[in-house]
Structure formats: structure tokens, C-alpha cells
Amino acid sequence: MQSPATISVPAVQKRSLLMELLLIGSFALLTGIGAQIEIPHQPVPYTLQTMFVLLSGALLGKRSGAASQLLYLVAGIAGLPVFSGLGFGIARLFGPTGGYLLAFPVAAFVVGYLTGEGTSFGRTLIAMAAGLFVIFSLGTLQLNLVLVHDMRNAIASGFLIFSWWDLLKLAAAATIARQLRGRIRPA
């Protein structure tokens, strides 16, 4: 019998650096496209951005998911029209929607961390719900500080109003993650 020190464990295949960078860039691009799929609403529009934020964390993991969302923010700050309504520039980060945007890398990290290597649909749903909570908490806080100046109204217009829309995106994102996880994440 072999001692525990000599037992060999098969190595988990890692994605190549090129593939990792391609996936990070792809999710940054998808988040930018999701921002353009918009139902206008003031002060914060309904978009598909958060679905891609959640998917980036669930499919790429905490670090690469967060990196994809940081890349998305850098692209917008640099002048690419990736924010909602083809918006761009650092001013967006200081406006009413800036808290939501700044929460994207944090939310992707949280989703990736909580999902881990788990593949259960329930675990993915819980991780994504936590990610949405991060986005809406930080977004609502900044919305209140910058525009509304009444936390009850900020919660109503920046958090609760999106509940139905984001429950749909949450269910869709969790379903998509379940289907793609084995193809994108290492086994």
C-alpha cells in the first residue's frame, strides 16, 4: 500500500491563458451589449447587464469574473460606448447609476466565490441572488447619495422596482450557467 505522500492525484485541467483572456474579454463585451438591451426608465433603466455580471462570476470564477467586469468598466471609462444608452466616461461612475456599475466586479467575485466548484442549481441561484443583492445595495446607496436623498424612495426606485425583472434574469442566468458550466469551467 502506498503512503499518502505518494498517492498521485490527476491534475485538474486549467484553461490556457489565451482562453482565459478571451473569456474575460467576451464577458466584458456581453455586459456592454446587455447594457444596450434596455427599457428606458428613470433614474435607472432596465437592462440585461446584470445577467452577464452574474454569468461571468458563475462561469469564469471569482477572479476572472471580477476581471471581466473591471475590463467592462475600464472600457467605458476609456470612452467606449458600453454603458446603457451607448454611454461612456468616468462621469457615469459618479452619477445615479454609478453604484450599480461599480458593484459589478464585486458581484461577479461574490457569485464566483459562493458558486465555487459547485454545480447544483440551488447553489448557483443562491450565489446569484447574493450577487444581485450586492449590485442593488451599492447601487441604491449611491442613487440615494447622488440623486434621491431619501433612502425609502431610493429603495423603492432603485431596488424594489427591479425585483420582477431581476428575478427573470436570475432564473435565466442560473439556467444558462447550469447548461454551460461543464463547457466553460474546468471539471
* Torsion sign across C-alpha atoms 145, 149, 155, 156: negative
Give tens-digit pLDDT for 68-117.
999 999 999 999 999 999 999 999 999 999 999 999 999 999 999 999 88
For residues 133-153, give the mean pLDDT. Answer: 95
Distance separating alpha carbons of residues 152 and 44, to the nearest angstrom: 16
For residues 162-186, give the mean pLDDT. Answer: 86
The backbone torsions φ and ψ at residue 87, rounded to the nearest 5 degrees and listed phi first, read -80, 160
Task: Give the per-residue pLDDT at 161.
Answer: 81
Distance separating alpha carbons of residues 100 and 47, to the nearest angstrom: 12
Nearest to 119 by CA among 27, 184, 48, 22: 184
pTM, to two decimals: 0.89
For residues 146-164, give the mean pLDDT. Answer: 90
Task: Give the per-residue pLDDT at 13.
Answer: 56
Domains and CATH numbers, the chain: 17-184 (1.10.1760.20)
